[in-house]
Amino acid sequence: MAIGLLVACGGNDSSADNVCAAPTEDCGGECVNTDNDPGHCGGCDIACDAGQVCGGGQCLDDCPAGTEDCDGTCADTSNDPANCGGCGTVCGDDEECRDSSCEIRCDAGLNAAVSDPWGAQWDGVERSAATLAEAAADCESFGARLPNATELYRVNPAVGGTIGTAADTNPLWSLVPYDATQQVAVTLADGATSEVAATNSAAYRCVCAPPPAQGFRSSSCYGDPGSECTELPGDGGRMNIDSLDRPALRKSSAIFECAAAGGRLATLGELHEAIAAGIEGSGSFLQTADDAIRSHYSSIAWTGSNPAIILSDSTLTADVAQIEDITIESK
């Protein structure tokens, strides 16, 4: 049973006149990466002071680990097409930066490539059934990868997706493990999740996605395009939460899914903060990062924006519960 929470959308809207591919935003008609642009750091027209650099959407004295200071831009030179392998090395229009080298663009290897509203490009036709290892190796051979569970879920027609149709009833491999021997699979027809033994064969689609944002912000969150994150007031307004529900996952899989996005499961206290901030609730249970007792965890549900309507539940075992996750992290 799919269980989840609807929350108010937040974030920056893209200009109707200039649609920018993720992870960039339209700032005065120019597509800029607000993750690391010192003139638009964390948002349009937010300029860093002289001597500062921009990394993870913040003005800093030094670049975060794994990035290099390229004239005030904290660039990941392993995937930045403007600083590929080193500052100032620009890839051509038909190339992308992959493993610090300019390579032919990933989408050239896709089957009848199609795009989703979040800036990712997909196989328009699913690939023949293969084991998990074979499917992953096939996608990685041309710079693509298997999608995570949220990426598959959000393009299903039940939530207004643009890739799946009602006829796409085959479970597709995702990147998310279910346990030591099984993997989460998602059906594009309805977004339903299931588990498949990794040594069995299943259909799959490869995806070419933009590099992830630095930290849990922008397209790392899940929500409508341009409004993926909702900001919470805690930690000086530096906390983000998903604007929409992710697919139903067991807790261990949800932890993996959130961590892969640069976030984590929210605690009960953080979800109480979300309620107090007026975020709408659907009345369905959400799993949290808090354990109640051994093999049980705390969950929470609320309805509407009334913080008095709160229900915490500690009776759902981590092994059997299929509760949607909500993700929260510092920007």
Concatenating the DSSP letter of every residue in 137-152 gives HHHHTTT-B---HHHH
Q: What is the pLDDT along the chain (331 residues), one digit of tens a residue?
A: 332 322 222 222 233 334 576 668 889 888 888 989 999 998 999 999 999 999 989 999 999 999 999 999 999 999 898 999 999 999 988 788 888 989 888 888 999 999 999 889 999 999 999 999 999 999 999 999 999 999 999 999 988 778 989 999 999 999 999 999 999 999 999 999 999 999 999 999 999 987 766 677 777 888 888 888 888 876 677 788 888 888 888 888 888 888 888 888 888 888 888 787 777 777 777 778 876 555 667 777 777 765 545 555 544 433 333 334 444 444 4
The closest of 268, 214, 223, 259 to 241, measured between CA atoms, is 223
Length of the chain measured in residues: 331
Q: Do domains 110-208 and 218-330 have the same CATH topology?
A: yes
CATH topology of domain 110-208: Mannose-Binding Protein A; Chain A (3.10.100)
d(CA 61, CA 203): 47
In the chain, domain spans? 110-208, 218-330
Q: Please report, to the nearest 10 degrees, the dihedral formed by the alpha carbons of residues 148, 321, 326, 252 taken in order.
A: -50
CATH classification code of 218-330: 3.10.100.10
pLDDT for the residue numbered 310 = 57
d(CA 297, CA 7): 22
d(CA 29, CA 46): 16
